[in-house]
Amino acid sequence: MRISLVTDAWAPQVNGVVRTLSTVMDIATARGHHVQVISPERFRSVPMPSYPEIRLALTTRRALARVIGGFAPDAVHIATEGPLGWLARSWCLARGVRFTTSFHTRFPDYVAARTGLPVGPVWAMLRRFHGRAAHVLVATPRLADELAGHGITHSMPWTRGVDLAVFRPDVGRHEAFDGLTGPVALHVGRVAVEKNIEAFLQADWAGAKVVVGDGPARAELQTRYPDAVFLGALHGEALARAYASADVMVFPSRTDTFGLVIIEALACGTPVAGYPVPGPLDILGEDALGRVGYGVPGALAGRRLGGVDEDLGAAMRAALGADRGDCAAFGARFSWDHACDQFLSALAANEMALAAE
């Protein structure tokens, strides 16, 4: 299959969306599919206001048409609702080309967190963007239900995975954790206001707190919370060692659609604490005994994997009661190969629907 992936999020950005897209495209390519990635790096771009790491492409539908048309794809997947996503959507609609989309980011909550603006108009924009797609790929049943409540009803499953060659319990200890007062709580992710990291830094906790990641809020948080250890962004084995060195990984975000770092931490044997919101609820469950999302094989874990509580400190302390072996076994259930299967199945379903018309 020849696949055109249109995305406003791509390297060098470091986030779960980019990791999901790049990993699944690499697997699809290894299976013999031909993948064209259309990202801002192909065009002149400008930094996103207040988020300079994100580049916004400056191009036209005609220029995009030349890129897609020259590739002659069998399937077009539009991953993001940014400038390239809207141009690709417009091009597909003008030519009667069926396309799929995916829902990675809660833009209404994101906009509200950054601007204080109401979420209603943003949901209206999202309904328009995704409404003409053949299918909208989503990570969990909870997210599918939420989208259906906002009028986006044509979803298909697309779960997430873990690179178990990297994220594993025997990866070793990260030297930055040596000498820290235990128990050690870790946060991994973009250091930005919508990630709610301040809730982690303010939580009642007897031991050290470590933040892995970079972003626009890092300098301010590092100044305001000098007792916390900020390591910047880590990748690959260094990140895995950070996960494995912590006593608990804390996921304070209330706006994420999944939380890739949750399953990576679990695969390293580290329990996870979070609020009872999408992400932690979809993976850990209300009782933190493990839930299974779309298509993830195996029964419910039935053993403590962390803590879920509106009192984040209480969730962190509850997570200390988890068995690291149980966490690693549960995290190992999340397969990128299975995620790729789901992605390709959605594209194939789109092709079959087109052939039937």
Q: Which residue from 272, 228, 282, 225 is spatially nearest to 252, judged by alpha carbons?
A: 272
CA 267 to CA 239: how far, in whole Å?
12
Q: What is the pLDDT of residues 244-282, one digit of tens each?
A: 999 999 999 998 999 999 999 999 999 999 999 989 999
CATH superfamily of 175-334: Glycogen Phosphorylase B; (3.40.50.2000)
Domains 2-161+337-356 and 175-334 share a fold: yes
Confidence at residue 283, expressed as pLDDT on a 0 to 100 scale:
92
Confidence at residue 255, expressed as pLDDT on a 0 to 100 scale:
87
> Domain locations in the chain?
2-161+337-356, 175-334
Confidence at residue 14, expressed as pLDDT on a 0 to 100 scale:
83
pTM, full prediction: 0.91
Confidence at residue 300, expressed as pLDDT on a 0 to 100 scale:
53
Q: What is the pLDDT of residues 318-333, one digit of tens each?
A: 999 999 999 999 999 9
Q: Which residue from 66, 87, 7, 3 is spatially nearest to 351, judged by alpha carbons?
A: 3
Least confident interval from 47-56, 155-164, 248-257: 47-56
Confidence at residue 119, expressed as pLDDT on a 0 to 100 scale:
84
The confidence band for 72, taking pLDDT boundaries of 50, 70 and 90, is very high
Within the chain, where are the H helices? 16-30, 61-71, 83-95, 107-115, 120-131, 141-149, 197-202, 218-224, 236-245, 260-267, 280-283, 312-319, 324-331, 336-356
Q: What is the pLDDT of residues 170-208, one digit of tens each?
A: 999 999 999 999 999 999 999 999 899 999 999 999 999
Q: Residue 351 is which amino acid?
A: E
Q: What is the pLDDT of residues 217-227, one digit of tens each?
A: 999 999 999 99
Within 139-291, where are the H helices? 141-149, 197-202, 218-224, 236-245, 260-267, 280-283
CATH 3.40.50.300 fits 2-161+337-356, yes or no: no
Pairwise pLDDT comparison (40 vs 290), residue with the higher score: 40
